[in-house]
Chains A and B, each alone.
Chain A
Amino acid sequence: MVNKGIKRLYTFLIFLFLYAPIIVLIVFSFNNSKSRGVWAGFTLKWYIELFQDANILKALYYTILIAVLSAIISTIIGTFAAIGISNMPGISKKIVLNLNYLPVLNPDIVTAVSLMVLFRFLRLDFGFTTMLLSHITFCIPYVILSVLPKLKQMNKHLAEAAMDLGATPFYALRKVVIPEIMPGIITGALIAFTLSVDDFVISFFNTGKGVSNLSIEIFSMTRRGINPVINALSTLMFVGLMIMLLIINKRTEKNELEKGEIR
């Protein structure tokens, strides 16, 4: 059918648009020339250069460290906050939820400069700490938003029943509530992790002392012009992403089989 052909073509064009730039980056990461338009033979020298670049390796270290820390901390605070919020009376629940939406909806740059002003006001030294604090701040709301729906789905009387049977609130929380909302917690942690890895604007304004993440490093590299090392970096990040996705996909496939439903 003609109709089907058009649909196929359209999806093909869209995916071409989405992937062409990435593929070009990947291909040119093996190009034996700094030029962007001409193919000058295969090389791995940009990868070697990448792994010898102390700045990039340091940035990678900070990116991962901050992402892991902010994912863990924001998940813990966020999960408890979500449990607390779901038990709050109407008005205060509404207020907290709306405030929680602020960092989600505010443009990054506004969040970034407002935190910068705050840290300055508190006379904090810009560096690792300020960057971590700002990452935790913009991650928590997403954790809460992914845990809350699970709490809503959960049977309200479950925890009460546990406590009626003699469980302490803490025990009920640990043995009943947390396992029930675990999928939401994991999603929240993953979101926090990816948001933190990907962040540029907020880190850019709230770092110092030579502490930088990959985004900041890439930004300053692009400011210096075209550099095939960036292509090599993109390729590695893309491959890493694909591997991560494959793992997650395996997991969700298993979940789907169990539930027989797709989210």
Chain B
Amino acid sequence: MRNKLIILALVLMMVVTVVAGCGEKKPSINVYNWGDYIDESVLDDFEEEYGIKVNYSTFATNEDLYVKLKQGGESFDVIFPSDYMIERMIREGMLAKIDMNKVPNIKNVDEDFMNLDYDPNNEYSVPYMWGTVGIVYNKTMVDDVVDSWDILWNEKYKDQIIMLNSQRDTIAVALLKLGYSLNSRNIDELEEAKAELLKQRPLVWAYQGDEVKDTMVGGEAALAVVWSGDAVAMMRENPDLDYAIPKEGTNLWFDSMVIPANAKNKEGAELFINFLCRPDIAARNADYIGYSTPIPEAVDMLPEEIRNSKVAYPSDEFLDSVKLEVFKDPMDIITEYDRIWTEVMSGQ
């Protein structure tokens, strides 16, 4: 009989472990953001002001975020996807409409960043940061003029080139180099881009994510494809670095805050989004990470060197002079993108 009791106890214990951890009841929101993309002290301030705990975790690419969300098992209240990913998520019904009455601070956002193609009526997203993609290079190591993506295929810089470990951005670089649209839906063009990237592989030193900042600041590589905000942060630490937007054009991107459809604390999420749109908070984030905020009042609060930076806040004339494209949702050909990227990363 006692044996049965032991078995019972053990089974009970197993059940307890399964149930354990489901308890915790203090208002909280789960925030999922890019790595190194916020001044984390802002989270503490939010918690202090509103008594809502922020469970903060990070992802590395839009695709990462999408898969995590799609696979479920974890629900988030605020996430920070980019333009094309927002478009896709809206299309797939993964996002909830934000009650903009609860986000009064959205009035602070510059009109230019509202009602963009990926969210035409601005129902789902509130802009967080924006920027371009370009080449950051070390002036002491590069003696050519950096004005074209071609330089990333120049044999002279073998093992001096860092590419982004991000599917959409890296394929876009190859498409742009070939003179195609970075939203190409033509399989032949994409295959050509793949061939280009495979050709480039022997020259690439590494495919990096956030660690590219360290590599470039440390002067370990000559050229790297980066997002403009990271370039600002790097140039602040190493004056030998400069940033160029190639003449073939580049990607203009917007990262926005959205609320997933299965969010458990939508009100908390809206409070949080509103909080991040407060000019002083937006300025703190923009100063800390180097990226460009879409809130003019916040820009005014930034230190002069950033406010006047041509990298972070290029003039309208400049923006008009280069071909800038915003990523679009690849829809049905996303599997082609996945395949091409896997093959590029597996190539020799």
Contacts and interface: CB of A to CB of B under 8 A. Distances in A.
Interface string A114-151: 00000110011111111011001000000000000000
Given A120-B72, A208-B57, A224-B35, 11 more contacts: A73-B17, A125-B22, A125-B74, A129-B22, A133-B17, A209-B55, A209-B57, A210-B30, A212-B57, A224-B210, A225-B214
A198 B21 CA distance: 22
Contacts of B210: 223-225
A132 B18 CA distance: 9
Interface in A135-174: 136, 168-170
Interface of A: 35, 54, 69, 73, 76-77, 80, 119-120, 123-130, 132-133, 136, 168-170, 208-210, 212, 220, 222-226
Interface string B213-238: 11100100000000000000000000
B330 interface: no
B71 interface: yes
Interface of B: 2-3, 5-6, 10, 13-14, 17-22, 30, 35-36, 40, 55-58, 60, 71-75, 209-211, 213-215, 218
Contact of A226 (B30, B209, B214): B214
Q: Say whether chain A's binding surface is mostly helix, strand, loop, or mixed.
A: helix
Contacts of A80: 6, 10
Contacts of A136: 17
Given A129-B17, A136-B17, A169-B2, A76 B73 contact: no
A210 B56 contact: yes
A212 B58 CA distance: 11
A76 B71 contact: no
B10 A128 contact: no
A226 to B, nearest CB: 5
B296 to A, nearest CB: 30
Contacts of B214: 224-226
Contact of A170 (B2, B19, B71): B2
Contact of B17 (A123, A132, A208): A132
A73 B13 contact: yes
B134 to A, nearest CB: 20
Contact of B73 (A120, A128, A220): A120
9 contacts: A73-B13, A125-B22, A126-B74, A128-B21, A129-B17, A209-B74, A210-B30, A224-B35, A225-B211
A76 B74 contact: no
A223 B211 contact: yes
Contacts of A168: 2
